[in-house]
Structure 1
């Protein structure tokens, strides 16, 4: 059966981490571009730098890493845990924290790059990256692919501490939640939990519905809506699975 997993954050921090993760995935997916699709990469890069500039990503994420590290350390005292796995994760978190501590300002070399800055400024204008608007960008797209790839690789190196640590952090968060089955009835589902950062909803693609989530860390509700607003699909009785992370 083909399923789809929807994720919904229940606090502002997790909302930020999911957006940063999404943009980093976009950068990694579209880092080998040509003159036809280059703007996908630069749009994602500009949006990521915007989030970093508007939020104290470095300080907030260091706190998150420290919190998760302390949880892992406390788990070492439990019987039956995988001691080697926990110890390996703790060592990884120590490496991530050390990497962040030597960074003065996250992404600063990219913000200071004149070439990237010129593109970011034109991205805010509809159609503003035409060849007559950015002749330097137009020329850059014509240089050998290998040379451009090397420059892009160097740019992404400045984001690699965030990329690697966030990947590990989100993997751990997602593994904290176990999927449990539920039946959707009366066109409404409500749940009361403790300290939950993220909920994950798994449902069959055949149902052609998506969840509308509202609430916060301790109490939230879910409604399933058809993709086509004109579709009068009866959503009652839909089987879905929910993981609270």
Structure 2
């Protein structure tokens, strides 16, 4: 049994290494969520930074706060949590399901709702932080975070690493609920889509579908192509373009896998 499990893991790793997955949102809500996920990954990657790469963190933080300010992220996530929770509840009496796993997921979603209902506006303490606000204002100016523009930032960057790390960790605690909830919701949505094989002939593929939030396109890495998607939730088309202009040798008939989530 252990041997078969190891074979399955090896096959999955080979598939992951030989293929690349592209994701394309089909509505504004999913577009916002994927951008937030990208920025949260940037923050988690660069949160313990040095002086010379500090702006990677603050650029990502500023862009994330900008998205939160312009969209009702909290309201949309609460609606999605409640919707996914109802789906889980409807599955719990189906024969053969892992009721313990479903119960754990339902409890996790209830905890998310409790945290959201007891919290202030999403990211509000970060928006009100004068130090972060000063950096965000200067980020709009090319090179605007030089030491003579922001001497307070220059002083902060020369503080001991441990002290800076502690403050950054405290900042990130204010968006932990966003990070955890978004990961859970997107994982659930992605798992609803099953990959199916298609062939794109004459470099055009069109699909008419139901209410789809996200499409995931998996193609062989060796093809060295990327998809160009146009359309909306019920109807969309896909074309594949080469990474390098003029290299059209791999786009006559491309086999790819598509998951609609």
Tell me the TM-score range normalised by the shorter chain.
Answer: over 0.9
Residue 203 of structure 2 aligns to a residue whose secondary structure is: coil
Structure 2 unpaired stretches of 5+: 1-16
1:186, 1:201 → 2: CA distance? Answer: 18
TM-score computed with the length of structure 2 as normaliser: 0.92
Residue 69 of structure 2 aligns to a residue whose secondary structure is: helix
2:182, 2:73 → 1: CA distance? Answer: 11
2:45, 2:89 → 1: CA distance? Answer: 34
CA RMSD for the aligned pairs?
1.0
Correspondence for 2:58 among 35, 42, 58: 42
The residue that corresponds to 2:215 in the other structure is 199
Correspondence for 1:143 among 151, 154, 159: 159
**How far did 1:234 drift?**
4.1
Give the 5 Å matches for 1:15-30. Answer: 15-30=31-46
The residue that corresponds to 2:179 in the other structure is 163
**How far did 1:77 drift?**
2.9
Asked whether the 8 Å contact 2:77–2:181 carries over to 1, the reply is no
Per-residue Cα deviation, 1:9-50 (whole angstroms, up to 9, x for no partner): 011111111111111110000001011100000000000000
1:218, 1:80 → 2: CA distance? Answer: 32
Correspondence for 1:32 among 48, 56, 67: 48
Give the 5 Å matches for 1:1-245. Answer: 2-245=18-261
TM-score computed with the length of structure 1 as normaliser: 0.97
1:231, 1:142 → 2: CA distance? Answer: 49
Segment drifting more, 134-143 vs 230-239? 230-239
**How far did 1:75 drift?**
1.5
1:232, 1:174 → 2: CA distance? Answer: 31
Q: How many residues get paired?
A: 245
Residue 52 of structure 2 aligns to a residue whose secondary structure is: coil
Structure 1 unpaired stretches of 5+: none
**How far did 1:186 drift?**
1.6
Per-residue Cα deviation, 1:154-183 (whole angstroms, up to 9, x for no partner): 000000001011111111111111111111
